[in-house]
Amino acid sequence: MSSPNLHPMLNVAVKAARAAGAIINRAALDVEAVRISQKQVNDFVTEVDHASERAIIETLLTAYPGHGILAEESGSEHGAKDSDYVWIIDPLDGTTNFIHGFPVYCVSIALAVRGKVEQAVIYDPSRNDLFTATKGRGAFMNERRIRVSKRTRLNECLVSTGFPFRTGDNFKQYLAIMADLMPRMAGLRRPGAAALDLAYVAAGFTDGFFETGLNIWDVAAGSLLVTEAGGLIGNFTGEPEFLDQRECLAGAPRIYGQLVPLLAKYSKFAGLDDKLRASDRMRAVDPTAQGGDTYARSTIDATPAAAPEAEPAAEAAPAPRKLTRIRRDNPVTPAEGDAAAK
C-alpha cells in the first residue's frame, strides 16, 4: 500500500520491498524446503533470494524502464546501463539467518541519482517494519519519524557489528577490535543483517554499528537512513566516501566521534595520505580480503564531499574528486555515501 506522503519513486520502492517481503514470508513458513546453494565458504544464496530479486526488479523497471539496476545476485545485467538513476538492491540481507529460521533479515533497496543515494527502503518482513528515507526529508519507521540515539557516553551504548566469516577475512584483527571495544561499552551485538543494523542505528535502537567486508548493496539504503535520522556514517577513519570501501562505521554524532579514534587504527586506510583520492585508496586494499570477489574499478567526476573532521581548514576550492565505482561483470553506476563528517 502506497502513502501519499512519500516521494513517488520511494512509493515504488516500498511496493517492490513489500512484494519481496511477501515471497520471503511465504518461504519462511517452510524454510527447510528452500533450495540453498553456496556462493563461497559460508556465503549462501537461496531460491528465495533470486525470487525476491526478480520481484523487486520487475516492479522497479515496470515503473521506470530507463533506470539502471545493481543487484546482489544479478549484478547490473538488468536495466539501462548508462542511466543517472541506479537502484541498488539486496533482496534478502541476512540469508544465513533466514535459512536457520532466525528472524533477523530484510530487504534493502536504494536509489542513487548521479552517484548520490536519494531514496532508501529497508523492510523487515518478519516484523512488518518498514524503514524509509528521502534525501532532505528525514527518516521514518512505519511512517513515524525516527532519530538516532541521544546517548553521549560510550560506556552506556549498545553497538552492533558483523563478525568475519569468509576465507581470507582477518579473524585475529576482529578479535582485537572486540577486546578493545567491549570493555568500553554497555554491549556488543551481532544480529547478522547489516542493512537492518543500520536501520536500527537510525531508529536509535542501537547507538552505533561497525563492520568490514560489506558490499555497496549492504549499506547504500542504510547510509541514507542514518544520515537523514541525524547520524554520521563513513569508514573507520571517518571518511564519508565509504560505500565501495568494504568498511563501515555509523552512529549518533557524539558516539561516532568516540568510535573513530578507537577503530581508525584497524582501518585498511590508516596511515595513508588523507589527500589520496578514493581510487588510490582502493588500490591499497588487499583483494584477497574481499572474500573471493574481484571488482573492476573506474572513476567518474563528482562533486567534492565534505572534508573529514580531522582536516581543520579547507584548502581553496579543491578540484573535483574522482570517486570509485565498482562492478562484478558489467560497468555500474556507483552510489556515494551522503554522510558528512562532523
Contact 13, 60 (CB under 8 A): yes
Alpha-carbon distances of 16 from 1, 11, 163, 170, rounded to whole Å: 11, 9, 29, 36
Question: 191: which 3 cell numbers?
Answer: 544480529
In one letter, which amino acid is 143? E
Pick out the chain residues at pLDDT < 50: 1-2, 273-342
Strands of 232-234's sheet, edge to edge?
A: 187-189, 158-161, 208-212, 247-251, 232-234
Does a structural domain hold residue 102? yes
Write down the pLDDT at residue 312: 35
Taking the C-alpha atoms of residue 2 and residue 72, their distance in angstroms, rounded to an integer, is: 25
Q: Mind listing the pLDDT tens digit for each residue in 11-39?
A: 999 999 999 999 999 999 988 888 887 76
For residues 321 and 235, the answer to whether their CB atoms sit within 8 Å is no
The confidence score (pLDDT) of residue 311 equals 35
- Closest CA relative to residue 322, chosen from 288, 340, 299, 305: 299
Whether 113 maps to a domain, the answer reads: yes
Strands 43-46 and 68-71: unpaired
Q: Which residues contact 280 (CB under 8 A, 6 or more apart)?
A: none
| Residue 43 structural domain | 8-138
- Is the sign of the CA dihedral 128, 134, 140, 143 positive or negative? negative
Among residues 127, 262, 145, 244, the alpha carbon closest in space to that of 193 is found at 127
Average pLDDT over the chain, rounded to an integer: 81
How many other C-beta atoms lie within 10 A of the C-beta of residue 82? 9
Task: Tell me if 269 is assigned to some domain.
Answer: no
Question: Phi-psi region for residue 164, left (φ > 0), alpha (ψ -120 to 50) or beta?
Answer: beta
Let me know if residue 90 belongs to a domain. Answer: yes
Q: What CATH number corresponds to the domain at position 80?
A: 3.30.540.10
Signed CA dihedral, 210, 212, 218, 220: sign only: positive
pLDDT at 241: 85
Gyration radius (Cα) of the chain, Å: 19
The answer to whether residue 322 sits within a structural domain is no
* CB-CB neighbours of 187 under 10 Å: 12
Cβ-defined contacts of 150-157 (< 8 Å, 24+): 150/204, 150/252, 151/207, 151/252, 151/254, 151/255, 152/252, 152/254, 152/255, 154/184, 154/185, 154/255, 154/258, 154/259, 155/184, 155/185, 155/186, 156/186, 157/185, 157/186, 157/206, 157/207, 157/208, 157/255
* CB contact at 8 A, 53 and 89: yes
Number of domains forming the structure of the chain: 1
Asked, for residue 105, whether it belongs to a domain, the answer is: yes
Strands 208-212 and 158-161: parallel
- Residues 252-280 have pLDDT tens digits of 999 999 999 999 999 887 765 444 444 44
Contact of 190 with 104, CB cutoff 8 Å: no
The pTM of the full predicted model, rounded to 2 decimals, is: 0.77
Q: Is residue 283, in this structure, part of any structural domain at all?
A: no
Q: Is 87 a member of any domain? A: yes
pLDDT over 70 percentage in the chain: 75
pLDDT score, position 163: 83
